[in-house]
Amino acid sequence: MDIAVDTSAVVALVAPGDPWRGAAEALIAAIVYAGHRAVYLDCVAAEAVSVVVRRMEDKRRTVGIPALLHVLASLIPESDITWILRHTQRLYPDILALVRSSHGTLNFNDALIALVCRESGIPAIASFDADFDQLPWLRRLGQPSDL
């Protein structure tokens, strides 16, 4: 089974001192151990870069940004990225409708991820973001026992 990996899990694996790191490591390990494929979407990689860089800037530790980007590129090699952003224009009305129907709890990226998962037959997402719980077609996995 394919399981999408959300930005919250990717950032937890990469960002120094992230409180979700242990949970993210255990969750990804459980996915792989169970024989599932972790799917990394391009919009997740892009958002993870932005979040990690912003956190480093906020901590005034910009000197560490190249090393973190290297870790991120090692975690998600370009060859392992599923490129979906080209679908954004086609899905734009549906993305806005999903953001609207969630009263903004799902942001643009989350709505894009959810819709692509639905279209691609990806039934689950590894995420610490409970906003995905409102979607009937996408099961959120927040810990190994959710598998």
* Residue 31's CATH number: 3.40.50.1010
Q: Which amino acid is at 36?
A: H
pTM over 0.85: yes
Q: Is the pLDDT of residue 16 over 90?
A: no
Instruction: Kindly report, residue by residue over 62-118, the tens digit of the pLDDT.
Output: 998 999 999 999 999 999 999 999 999 999 999 999 999 999 999 999 999 999 999
**How many domains does the chain fold into?**
1
**Among the listed residues 80, 100, 94, 72, the one whose alpha carbon sits nearest the alpha carbon of residue 10:** 72
**Among the listed residues 133, 113, 136, the one whose alpha carbon sits nearest the alpha carbon of residue 48:** 113
**Among the listed residues 12, 1, 2, the one whose alpha carbon sits nearest the alpha carbon of residue 143:** 12
Question: pLDDT-based confidence at 29, cuts 50/70/90?
Answer: very high
Q: Domain range for residue 17?
A: 2-146
